[in-house]
Amino acid sequence: MEDIIVVGCGFAGAVAARKLAEEKKKRVVILEKRSHIGGNMYDSEDINGILVHWYGPHIFHTESKRIFEYLRRFTEWVRYEHKVMGNIRGQLVPIPFNYSSLEDLFPEDNASDLKCRLSRTFPNKTRISILELLKSDDAEVKRFGRAVYDMVFVNYTAKQWGVPPEKIDSSVINRVPVVLGYDNKYFQDPIQYMPTNGFTRLFDNMISHPNINVEVNCDASKRIRLDRKRGRVYFDGKVWDRPIVYTGALDELMEYEFGALPYRSLDLVFERYKMNYYQLAAVVNYPNEEKFTRITEFKHFTCERASTETTILKEYPMDYDITAPKGNIPYYPIINEENLILYAKYRDALRRFGNIYPCGRLAEYRYYNMDAVVDRALSLCESLGIK
Ligand code: FAD
Ligand code: UDP
């Protein structure tokens, strides 16, 4: 019999399972409802031999040497610096919006004046939040901020989240700054890599341990039952009093007791073209007219073998609805005050069950990047205090 159940085989589940199996010497079973491991990081080669991220583009980036050293144990990595362009009024400019974007989109005189004002207003700063720019005391800088907000942020955010930007926590928009200079890297983290043979290989190696058993096509909600009155957990009909690391959605686990937690989903549309490259950068954002938010061309990630075919992905944001044919994967928690209050109710109710530990993007309703999920899973398992 296993010592610990892990629900979900995304990064949160796989890292937790490995840590518990290897360091705590526990027998772990991972239950994964999809037909494969890797969660939203799952990738594999398509019919043209191009490594495709089937749930959207994933680039590993972190500040933490410790997290990267941990992951390096499981696969080879190749340096990769992520670049994004934005299609603004038909012109491709760097995103985050930087001085090159400014020069491309503003008249020359105006651009020089704005660069001077920006340096004067924000001395010693290389990046600034768009929301801070909008509050500037310098009228010209404020007007510039408004223009960038309108060109890059307003419509993209409304498309992505299905509500106006004011209804989304400012931390979401602040993930993408305005750059006061010519740096055109999308992420600021010093460590940026891609796994040479893909993320699925990383997962394969991570869960390949004699103490780990994985069951795919296994929906844990059909095997785990909660007796709310007694605060008791049942697994396959028997009382289960050992730990469960749970990485699915809490509302689903608790049978929507307080109503559904809102998530945002995506309709992911893949297209193949007979051409070497479709676009100039790995990702091109379409903030305005189009219904999709961005196009990813996978070949750019691994600087792949030139070939006559390429595969791209268009992301169409949509509401999450578990019963619908599309939009039935909860990709993004929608971070705002109302939703966090609802989530807190689930989290409080979960305390009735002393042996369920929520971990990861869904279970904690947090906009975690990959490195933060790894960190969280490692520290959770460290703190479990199991002997
Ligand atoms: P998930 O990957 O969602 O894994 C949860 C797993 O649990 C899933 O496999 C699910 O099927 C399973 N599960 C759920 N319920 C049950 C159940 N009842 N029974 C059994 N199994 C269940 N981060 C970055 O750092 N860089 C990026 O470039 C980046 N790009 C992203 C792009 C997109 C489109 C998205 C959506 C996210 C991106 N992320 C990125 C974030 C990254 O995907 C997450 O940080 C990471 O995947 C979270 O891992 P997780 O294990 O918490 O969740
Ligand atoms: N964003 C935007 N325009 C862009 C890129 C990002 O308005 O061209 C905003 C938008 O609100 C988005 C958020 O910044 O949801 C975070 O973007 P990020 O690229 O980090 O999103 P993710 O890769 O997680 O989808």
pLDDT above 70 coverage of the chain, percent: 98
CA of 153, closest atom in ligand 2:
7
pLDDT of residue 302: 78
Residues facing 93 on adjacent strands: 86
pLDDT band at 22, cuts 50/70/90? very high
Listing DSSP states for 139-184 in one string gives HHHHHHHHHHIIIIIHHHHHHHHSS-GGGS-HHHHTTS-EESSS--
**What residue owns the CA closest to ligand 2's atom 1?**
153
pLDDT of residue 1: 82
If you average pLDDT over every residue of the chain, what do you get?
A: 96
Interval 264-307: pLDDT, tens: 999 999 999 999 999 999 999 999 999 999 999 999 997 666 67
pLDDT of residue 305: 65
Question: Is 95 touching ligand 2 by the criterion CB < 6 Å?
Answer: yes
CA-CA distance, 326 to 322, in Å (whole number)?
9
CA-CA distance, 106 to 340, in Å (whole number)?
40
- Other CB atoms within 10 Å distance of the CB of residue 209: 14
Best mutation site among 153, 189, 336, 367 for ligand 2 pocket (most ligand atoms within 8 Å of CB): 153
Q: Does the pLDDT at position 25 exceed 70?
A: yes
pLDDT of residue 303: 63
Question: Is 350 touching ligand 1 by the criterion CB < 6 Å?
Answer: no
CA of 230 to the centre of ligand 1 (A): 31
Identify the burial level of 362 via C-beta atoms within 10 angstroms of its C-beta, where 0-12 means exposed, 13-18 middle and 19 or more buried.
buried
pLDDT of residue 308: 87
Residues carrying CATH 3.40.50.720, the chain:
4-39+195-261+334-383
Domain 4-39+195-261+334-383 CATH assignment equals 3.40.50.720: yes
pLDDT of residue 306: 63
**Average pLDDT value for residue range 54-78:** 98
Listing DSSP states for 33-67 in one string gives SSSSSSGGG-EEE-TTS-EEETTS---EEES-HHH
Interval 321-335: pLDDT, tens: 999 999 999 999 999
Interval 208-226: pLDDT, tens: 999 999 999 999 999 999 9
Q: Widest CA span of the chain, in angstroms?
A: 74
pLDDT of residue 304: 62
pLDDT of residue 384: 86
Q: Where are the alpha helices (DSSP H) in the chain?
A: 11-22, 65-72, 99-105, 108-121, 130-133, 139-148, 154-161, 170-173, 199-207, 250-253, 337-350, 370-383
Interval 355-387: pLDDT, tens: 999 999 999 999 999 999 999 999 999 998 765
Reduced to 3 states (helix: H, G, I; strand: E, B; else coil), residue 275 is coil
0.95 exceeded by the pTM? yes
CA of 50 to the centre of ligand 1 (A): 22
**What residue owns the CA closest to ligand 1's atom 4?**
10
Of all ligands present, the nearest one to the C-alpha of 371 is: 1
Tokens of 295: 């196009």
**Average pLDDT value for residue range 232-259:** 97
CA of 266 to the centre of ligand 2 (A): 14
CA of 42 to the centre of ligand 1 (A): 9
